[in-house]
Chains A and B, each alone.
Chain A
Amino acid sequence: MDFKAPVESYAASVREVTLGAGDKAVKIGGETKLAYGFFDEGDIPNPPKLALEVMDTAPEGWAEHFLEPYRDVLSDPVAWARKALDYGADLICLRLISTDPAGKNASAESAAETVKKVADAIPVPLIVYGVGDETKDAEVLPKVAAVCSGMNLLIGPVIKEDYEPIAAAALEHGHCLVAQSPLDINIMKELNIKLSKTFPLERIVIDPLSAALGYGMEYSFTLMERTKLTGVAFKDTMTQMPLIGDLGSECAKTKEAKTNREQGILWEGMTAISLLLAGANIVILRHPDSVKNVREILG
């Protein structure tokens, strides 16, 4: 008797989000089935994108093997971004660590200026991550939005405490937003509902928080998978956004990654591949070798 493999088809799709403006534009999402479900009906029009991190100021406390690829550009975010693209990144994620109130506490103006320089200098869309402080981000990110008006950056993270001013500025100046929730699908949905009152759903990307391998990655995996299922199979319009896996910095924090170069790079690659299988549309990586490794596995 012939075996006939069951073929699923899905009722809805992930929203397609366009990042960047003009000829820099890149599309993410848009799939009408689950990630890597090549055996099912539906399309995956936009394969996942690999982003490399760039710091807006020279980082402190990084393990030597994460600094080494960028040794000569650590204090020059524009040169760092170009180098990351040379290493094969699809997108750049600029982190505004200089604005950390517990650190340099740089002004919104100076951070926004750096963002503009980097965004102007690279031929791909720019992701901008604030430092994660709800008060400071609410100052810095609207300024970034205004200074880079019309460039359609992907700006975040917005959380339920600070989304209002950031969303207002992103709307006015034509950017996309990263909506971040603390590993909880119910809170994720609630934030998207709140954003949807004023902000277009087709410009939201979900960051559900990505834990590193060995440090809770399976929670992130399950959550991403469930988010995609709820959106694509159960047609929930509030979970149909593309997903971003911000995992590079999480992996680099682990003792496994800090203490051993090879192990660290594998740690990041394994986490990235896992979350891509779960449905991440963008992964943010730290080490350039991870871009090569992940691409090789994805084929």
Chain B
Amino acid sequence: MILIGENIHIISKDVSVAIRERNARFLQDLAVKQTEAGVHYLDLNIGPARKNPEEMVPWLVKAIEEVTDLPLSIDTLNPVAMEAGLAAITKSRALINSASGRTDSKQEMMPLAVKYNAELVLSVFTDKGCPPDADSRIESIMETAAYANELGIPNEDLWIDPVLLPISADQAQVGFDLEFMKMLEDAVPGAKSTIGLSNVSNGTPDHLRGILNRTMMVMLGRYNMYSVIADAFDKELIAINNGERPDIIDIVYKVMDEEEIDLSSLSQEMVHYVKTAEVLLDRMLYSDGWLDH
């Protein structure tokens, strides 16, 4: 799976301060560390970037391109900031993160993919918000992708995002994304896919976030998820993605297939993956103590 490193993210206080103070060194350091960790893209999440985006975003892109050859995804809903970033990227084909089926996004964000020959993350959001289940998300994305096609963006340049919500907010939602992935190839043939993986563990205690993210990645991978936006510094996640942990993939698939599993024969690590998969599949009620029960 293609990993998009998420660690340059405006929600991080350190990142936010570094951008405000134009501290290139700090951000370059984060870019180098993510590159060394083995991710394939770097996401530059700059938030709404209301203040002076025409100066700030090119500054950031230039600073990052000085230290890494990885392709960049510009992560903002502000089309002015997006365009400033796309115009500044020199090293590789850019990824727009993201557009959606919202009217303003169709009008202001999508045309930038054509103008700058960029690839495009397309989420299932519409003017009505996030569609409530797998079927309605597929319906929404078919419409939105068709609109992108009319603008001249082929399916192959679309990275479809079914939108992942925190498990602590709505446990059943997680399963909708798996259902969505089963249907995606028929709905938008040839399209790529991506998802904000860490969102699933938002609100969960920090030391428990990794196993939720990793288990979710394995489950999505089974349904041909093309990429995830993920924590580059989760070494185990990288190892799983590099094929170094077939045992984890195997046990998660067994849970998905509802195979009989004898927990007493498993290591504690594997038991934790079983329980986490059960929780993500909404077969066991989530609580912050799900691994202890």
A residues sitting closer than 8 Å to B (CB atoms) are 185-190, 193-194, 196-197, 230, 234, 236-239
Contact = CB atoms under 8 A, between A and B. Distances in A.
- Could you say which of B287, B289, B292, B293 has the most chain A C-beta atoms within 10 Å of its C-beta? B287
Contacts of B288: 186-187, 190
Nearest to B284: A236
Interface string B34-74: 00000000000000000000000000000000000000000
Contacts of B285: 185-186, 189, 230, 234, 236, 238-239
Contacts of B293: 189, 193, 196, 237-238
B253 interface: no
Which label, helix, strand, loop or mixed, suits the secondary structure of the A interface? helix
Contacts of A234: 283-285
A190 B284 CA distance: 13
Contact of A186 (B283, B287, B292): B287
Q: Considering the complex of A and B, which 5 residue pairs feature the smallest CB-CB distances, nearest first?
A: A189-B287, A193-B289, A190-B287, A190-B289, A186-B287
Given A187-B288, A188-B287, A234-B284, 5 more contacts: A186-B288, A189-B286, A196-B293, A236-B285, A238-B285
A188 B286 CA distance: 10
Contacts of A186: 168, 285-288
Nearest to B282: A234
A234 B168 CA distance: 19
Nearest to B167: A186
Given A234-B285, A236-B284, A193 B168 contact: no
Interface string B265-293: 00000000000000000011111110011
20 contacts: A186-B285, A186-B286, A189-B285, A189-B286, A189-B287, A190-B287, A190-B288, A193-B287, A193-B289, A193-B292, A193-B293, A197-B292, A230-B285, A234-B283, A234-B284, A234-B285, A236-B284, A236-B285, A238-B285, A238-B287
B285 to A, nearest CB: 5
A185 to B, nearest CB: 7
Which label, helix, strand, loop or mixed, suits the secondary structure of the B interface? loop
A199 to B, nearest CB: 14
A186 B292 CA distance: 14
A236 B285 CA distance: 7
Interface in B121-171: 168
Nearest to A188: B287
A196 B157 CA distance: 52
- Could you say which of A186, A188, A193, A197 has the most chain B C-beta atoms within 10 Å of its C-beta? A186
B36 to A, nearest CB: 37
A238 B168 CA distance: 17
B178 to A, nearest CB: 19
Contacts of A193: 287, 289, 292-293
A190 B285 CA distance: 10
Nearest to B168: A186
A186 B168 CA distance: 7
A190 B293 CA distance: 9
A197 B285 CA distance: 18
A193 B284 CA distance: 13
Contacts of B287: 186-190, 193, 238
B45 to A, nearest CB: 27
B67 to A, nearest CB: 42
A155 B283 CA distance: 32
Contacts of B284: 234, 236
Nearest to A239: B285
A234 to B, nearest CB: 7
A83 to B, nearest CB: 41
B290 to A, nearest CB: 8
B167 to A, nearest CB: 9
Contacts of A236: 284-285
A5 B284 CA distance: 29
A39 to B, nearest CB: 26
Contacts of A188: 287
A233 B289 CA distance: 21
A239 B290 CA distance: 13
Contacts of B283: 234
A21 to B, nearest CB: 30
Contact of B289 (A189, A230, A239): A189
A185 B289 CA distance: 12
Contacts of A230: 285
